[in-house]
Structure 1
Amino acid sequence: MSLDELLIEHPSSTFIGIAQGESMQDVGIFDGDMIVVDRYETARHGDVIVANFNGEFVCKILDMHRRLLLSSNQKFQPVTIHDHDDFSIEGVVTRSIRCHRRSPLLVVK
């Protein structure tokens, strides 16, 4: 079995990103982790998503009922999505992968 078969359900609509920061650590996504993001999946309330929010990529929990982007870490305040914001969901985070020895290919500069 390959990792692609295990981790990726929709290969043509999936990308891998590198998480930065501490805002999602309480759902198990830590700084430097790889996140598998599926563009095919429709985001639902409570999903962890990657979004473009006013020109920045963010990884947050989607609160569709209150139009909020939530961090799992209580140190970070919820962010309201206003009508004037430039907001688009890039995909649903379906997996996260932690590397215990960093690859030089994954170093974010």
Structure 2
Amino acid sequence: MKHSESKKQSGGARKGAGRKKGSGKFGEETKVIRVPESKVAQVKDWLSNQVEQELEQRQLDVAQKMAGDKLKIQKPEIGEEIPLPLHSHKVVAGFPSPADDYIETRLDLNSKLIQNKSSTFLLTVQGDSMKKIGIQDGDILVVDRSLEPKDGKVVIAALDGELTVKRLSIKSTGTWLVPENDHYPPIPVREESDIFIWGVVTATIKQF
């Protein structure tokens, strides 16, 4: 009897064993529910989108804290496609010609500017350190965080807790963040530097 009792006591769940509550991808406790079989895929897609949106918002919150008051960071809202006429006729600064005869195709700006929706952010430029390549104060940068930063690319770098836009230069002699303005010096990227590449600039949006 004693042997049987001790064996019985040794079974069952152990305190602290198993997956901890809230440790799954949703970050909270989950509950088993019955879902119509025809709606399973739809429910899974909805949950997946919710997790993705919450992750995007967390990334945006972190980025905005790093940017402080110097950069305005936005997440692009992508709605329905709006195909605009794309003309093959070249634009000349002279007497206008009828361009309707030269419509080649139609272009949706969302699909042109945004390749990876979940990792794309919009940043408003403040300052003139990149004016030699046409990036001016007030311009909006399209930034993709999923792209690999390579030599020569224009990047957004986190420097001492703030975001800055510079050209990335990777040479055998070292790595630099290079401004496109002779009034600003290149910034060396060293192992001890508090610098990391936040994203790659893919386009600039200007308004006149």
| Shorter-chain TM band | 0.7 to 0.9
1:33 aligns with one of 139, 149, 160:
139
Rounded to whole Å, the distance in 2 between the matches of 1:42 and 1:62 is 11
Deviation at 1:3, TM superposition (A): 2.1
The within-5 A match list for 1:2-13 is 2-13=108-119
Root mean square deviation, CA, Å: 1.0
Rounded to whole Å, the distance in 2 between the matches of 1:33 and 1:72 is 15
- Greater percentage in helix: 2
2:141 is paired with a residue of what secondary structure?
Answer: strand
Deviation at 1:74, TM superposition (A): 1.2
TM-score, length-normalised on structure 1?
Answer: 0.87
Deviation at 1:55, TM superposition (A): 0.7
For structure 2, the 5+ residue unaligned runs are: 1-82, 84-107
Rounded to whole Å, the distance in 2 between the matches of 1:74 and 1:9 is 33
Figure out how many residues of one structure are paired with residues of the other and give that number: 100
Q: Kindly indicate whether structure 1 or structure 2 has the higher relative contact order, using CA contacts under 8 Å at least 6 residues apart.
A: 1
2:148 is paired with a residue of what secondary structure?
Answer: coil
Deviation at 1:64, TM superposition (A): 1.5
Rounded to whole Å, the distance in 1 between the matches of 2:110 and 2:184 is 33
For structure 1, the 5+ residue unaligned runs are: 101-109
Match of 1:68? 176
Match of 2:201? 93
TM-score, length-normalised on structure 2?
Answer: 0.47
What per-residue deviation string (whole Å, max 9, x for no partner) do you get for residues 17-62 of structure 1? 0011110011111000000000111011010000101111010000
Moved over 2 A (4+): none
- Greater percentage in strand: 1
Give the share of equivalent positions with the same residue, in percent: 37
Matched AA of 1:83: E
Deviation at 1:82, TM superposition (A): 2.1
